[in-house]
Chain A
Amino acid sequence: MASQYDRAITVFSPDGHLFQVEYAQEAVKKGSTVVGIRGTDIVVLGVEKKSVAKLQDERTVRKICALDDHVCMAFAEKMSSFFCNVSTTFIGLTADARVVISRACVECQSHKLTVEDPVTVEYITRFIATLKQKYTQSNGRRPFGISALIVGFDDDGIPRLYQTDPSGTYHAWKANAIGRSAKTVQEFLEKNYTEDAIANDSEAIKLAIRALLEVVQSGGKNIELAIIRRNQPLKMFSAKEIELQVNETGKEKEEAEKKKSKKTA
């Protein structure tokens, strides 16, 4: 049945599937894992960095982008800053992500010029989701093969984390993971995301690292991390800082395991 109804985006199957949109969601899973965590006073984006070829410049392969001063976005591979407080991460097709980021950046600026207020995180998420939805309903186009995690702080000082997917839907999350092996990370977050775990900033950062280490195969050197604190710009962690955090997390894990084995013994 799928083969008759999956060649055109504007055709529903008899059981109500839009197969091209579902296939686009499969493309998203080809991207490396991204984790977003909303803490009390912090939002954290952690991404699995892909290995680049020897002669490739790593700086051109960043996954986390800042859309505005207060909104940040991560897509499975890139970190870029449009503005410091809104950041985003995308996963999926790199080229699609670049196009969506540039549109979102323009929208952030345009909104600021028009209404003299920065965008809210929800507004820019809705803009990106609406853009994606348009491409699921037009003849001759295909959906964007990307999912995004968008984080930031609004004027009211509340941290936000949103996720969009190729169908154009968006939802707010306390913590989420997208990309390869996302289910494993989501289960980890469901078990470990507690009030204590996000009680302070460093705990939230450690939670993000621990979640990523569930699926990242080669440890800290393949992780990129960015945080936004209230009224502060986006901060990208350096490789050394990430290594420190990973080592601390590793030590805490070992101590916890030792305590467990003592108890059982």
Chain B
Amino acid sequence: MAATFFGEVVRAPCRAGTEDEEEEEEEGRRETPEDGEVRQQLARKREVRLLRRQTKTTLEVSLLEKYPCSKFIIAIGNNAVAFLSSFIMNSGVWEEVGCAKLWNEWCRTVDTTHLSPTEAFCVFYHLKSNPLVVLCQCSCYVAEDQQYQWLEKPHNPGNHTQSNSCQVFWLQMVFGSCPRKNVQVTILTCRHVTDYKTSESTSSLHTPFLKALKTQNFREPPCCSLLEQPNIVHDLPAAVLSYCQVWKISAILYLCYTDVMKLDLITVEAFKPVLSSRSLKSLVKNIPQSTEILKKLMTTNEIQSNIYT
């Protein structure tokens, strides 16, 4: 037992261990039938469903098996999504090919069965003039246990025994179990600058700034400097990048470190160097128009909290 600074007594971890302690822990681990039922209900609620656009029925195969592509661009987070909406999606006609509906404790919506089309959290598009280009806008938080579904296996409505130890659910839906090697994946996302590991003070860093992390198979030069050691990334972008590294897919993650996590013009514009990459260069048409579209997006998000002045 140990005392903390505030005087509370806590149990200090002990590597020696005793038999008594193990028995107590085992009793605590035994599940009652009610606990099992609750756990199964929660697992059903947290399933990721990938739906077809027209019929809103579940896709039987993974998205990239249904819509094979050579370029797959994923935007995770509201600033990355705003960047793609303004600078890439205005350049042609994009058709929605599917959406991933999911629920976790971070979602604002309570009703998981009747999510409306406007609440689809991950939307997939392909370019009508070149269907080999697929884009994903993911503006929700995909929890660790949902990332596997998102990445790999197709959804099986009868199978409710997903192991809670699986880390990546979301990937299930998108790449499938045997992904193509000739696809190039570009991931865009933001993190708070306090996640950036540096010996300097965060106030001396010129935020926002862009860093890149790539898989071994990615051969092109990145559009910005690589993320220095310790080059740790988190959540769905990390899951996608790890998946691509394991399956030897060429992938790059562009990570924008910012001190403004909500939708912000300067943060979105920090992604602009990415427009010169081979994946995105051909998709960019009219930058001044894109800037106007971006400004309109900003004005719809204006009302701010009263806590901060």
- Residues of chain A touching chain B, judged by Cβ–Cβ distance below 8 Å, are 7-8, 11, 22, 25-27, 29-32, 50-53, 56, 61, 63, 75-78, 90-95, 97, 180-181, 183-184, 187, 215, 217-218
Contact = CB atoms under 8 A, between A and B. Distances in A.
Contacts of B206: 183, 187
Given A26-B194, A184-B266, A92 B299 contact: no
Nearest to B192: A26
Contact of A75 (B194, B265, B309): B309
A70 B127 CA distance: 62
Contacts of A76: 308-309
Residue of A50, A90, A95 with highest tally of chain B CB at under 10 A:
A50
A51 B303 CA distance: 5
B307 interface: yes
Contact of B309 (A8, A77, A183): A77
Contacts of A27: 308
B224 to A, nearest CB: 18
A232 B299 CA distance: 37
Residue of B206, B259, B260 with highest tally of chain A CB at under 10 A:
B259
A95 B298 CA distance: 27
B5 A11 contact: yes
A189 B10 CA distance: 52
B263 to A, nearest CB: 10
Q: Is the interface of B mostly helix, strand, loop or mixed?
A: loop
A53 B299 CA distance: 13
Contacts, number: 67
B304 interface: yes
Contacts of A52: 303
Contacts of A97: 309
Nearest to A23: B194
Contact of A32 (B6, B203, B306, B309): B309
5 smallest beta-carbon distances between A and B, as pairs: A77-B309, A51-B302, A76-B309, A30-B308, A94-B309
Given A76-B309, A93-B308, A218-B302, 20 more contacts: A7-B5, A8-B5, A22-B202, A25-B203, A26-B194, A29-B259, A50-B309, A53-B303, A77-B309, A90-B309, A93-B307, A94-B306, A97-B309, A181-B266, A183-B207, A187-B206, A215-B266, A217-B295, A218-B295, A218-B299
Residue of B203, B264, B309 with highest tally of chain A CB at under 10 A:
B309
23 contacts: A7-B5, A8-B5, A22-B201, A26-B202, A32-B309, A50-B304, A51-B302, A61-B309, A75-B309, A76-B308, A76-B309, A90-B309, A92-B308, A92-B309, A93-B309, A94-B307, A180-B260, A181-B264, A187-B206, A217-B298, A218-B295, A218-B298, A218-B299
Contacts of A63: 309
A63 B306 CA distance: 12
Interface of B: 5-6, 194, 201-203, 206-207, 259-260, 264-266, 295, 298-299, 302-304, 306-309
Contacts of B302: 51, 218
A180 B5 CA distance: 34
B249 to A, nearest CB: 35
Nearest to B267: A181
A61 B302 CA distance: 15
Nearest to A27: B308
Nearest to A91: B309
A26 B259 contact: yes
A76 B206 CA distance: 20
B308 A94 contact: yes
Contacts of A25: 203
Contact of A181 (B194, B260, B299): B260
